[in-house]
Structure 1
Amino acid sequence: MRSEIVVPLTIRDLTEADLPECGWSGSRLHLEHVARQLARVPLGEAEYLAACASRSGLPVGKGLIDYRANPEAGTIGQLAVHPALQSCGIGSALVLAAEERIRARGLRHAELGVEVDNPRAQALYERLGYAAYGKAPESWDEEAPDGSIRRYETTCVLMRKPLTT
């Protein structure tokens, strides 16, 4: 027997008060980076979205829109959905909400990068209308389970989608 449960979802601005509830999205080091991105929001350089279960208000997904990376596009990044809720449409809802925010700024394109070894995410972005236009190296510091910090290096497929008004 298969049953379906529908949980209403709200997309809103992520706040610093949400960070303790976002441990599912990454390590302490990652959440410190998210906090630094949130500090850019009042400057108009970025927006950070939270997908929340409507009844609890708790974030179950998040995503950044960076307006400094490319002045002609909004760059979507740091997308994450709670592992227990992946493949339920939350990532798609976040991307579509981010596109609306980018469009409201008068920008004509949304961009993002996806690691080459993440074909599932790349397929999602392609279904949402993104097309690959190149590759670029990417790196960041990450926290290992033992608390040590290491440099993570990867290659990302760069993707872009034109946004219509």
Structure 2
Amino acid sequence: MSAANQSADAAVVVPVSVRDLLPRDLPACAWSGSATHLGQVERELVRAAAGEVDYLAVCTPADVPVAIGGIDYQVSEEAGTLWQLAVLPAMQSCGLGTLLIKAAEQRVAERGLRRTELAVEEGNPRARALYERLGYVAYGRRPDAWDEEGLDGSIRRYETMCVLLRKDL
């Protein structure tokens, strides 16, 4: 069969692995946010070296990150707090977010903690549905805010309301 006659629905299976995110990975993670965001991730990698956080990457066989996210152990003494979870937009809904979260939960459990927590914007129902499908339960709400870099390089304050979710491991 010629390439022109092949189905566009063909599935390609690509193995992935989960490892710690490294400073050398940051240029390949530009899809995850602005330069300001990547600067924040870079600062979190310093905290990772100190053992305060874990920052994970789901990588292709070419060792390129396609999903990233952190676990902060300083927010709560009793839980690992998942944050800055992101999947390359073209690869969303392929199971990478689930794999990332399960790997994060394993890291939390390896530290002897029995719960994970996270916050999701109220305006992000897809992410909330994923977390709930993985067993996370809402227990509250709180406002959140951070600085965002505009396309023109300007910085503006972004404010939102988040739903707080947790899961017993």
* RMSD over aligned Cα atoms: 0.6
SS in 2 for 1:6: coil
Determine the structure 2 residue equivalent to 1:41. 48
- 1:106 is the counterpart of 2:112: yes
> CA shift at 1:61, angstroms?
0.5
Count residues in correspondence: 162
Determine the structure 1 residue equivalent to 2:165. 159
- 1:133 is the counterpart of 2:139: yes
Structure 2 unaligned blocks of 5 or more:
1-6
- How far apart are the structure 2 equivalents of 1:108 and 1:33? 27
Determine the structure 2 residue equivalent to 1:70. 76
- 1:83 is the counterpart of 2:84: no
**Residue-by-residue CA offset, 1:19-66 (whole Å, 9 max, x unaligned):** 010000000000000001111012211000000012x10000100000
Partner amino acid for 1:21? A
SS in 2 for 1:40: helix
> CA shift at 1:3, angstroms?
1.4
SS in 1 for 2:120: strand
SS in 2 for 1:39: helix
Q: Could you tell me the percent identity over the aligned residues?
A: 59
Structure 1 unaligned blocks of 5 or more:
none
- How far apart are the structure 2 equivalents of 1:126 and 1:16? 31
Determine the structure 2 residue equivalent to 1:117. 123
Determine the structure 2 residue equivalent to 1:14. 21
- How far apart are the structure 1 equivalents of 2:69 and 2:49? 16
The higher radius of gyration belongs to 2
- How far apart are the structure 1 equivalents of 2:72 and 2:137? 19
- How far apart are the structure 2 equivalents of 1:57 and 1:38? 18
Determine the structure 2 residue equivalent to 1:144. 150
Determine the structure 1 residue equivalent to 2:36. 29
Scaled by the length of structure 1, the TM-score of the pair is 0.97
- How far apart are the structure 2 equivalents of 1:7 and 1:24? 20
- How far apart are the structure 2 equivalents of 1:75 and 1:13? 16
Partner amino acid for 2:141? K
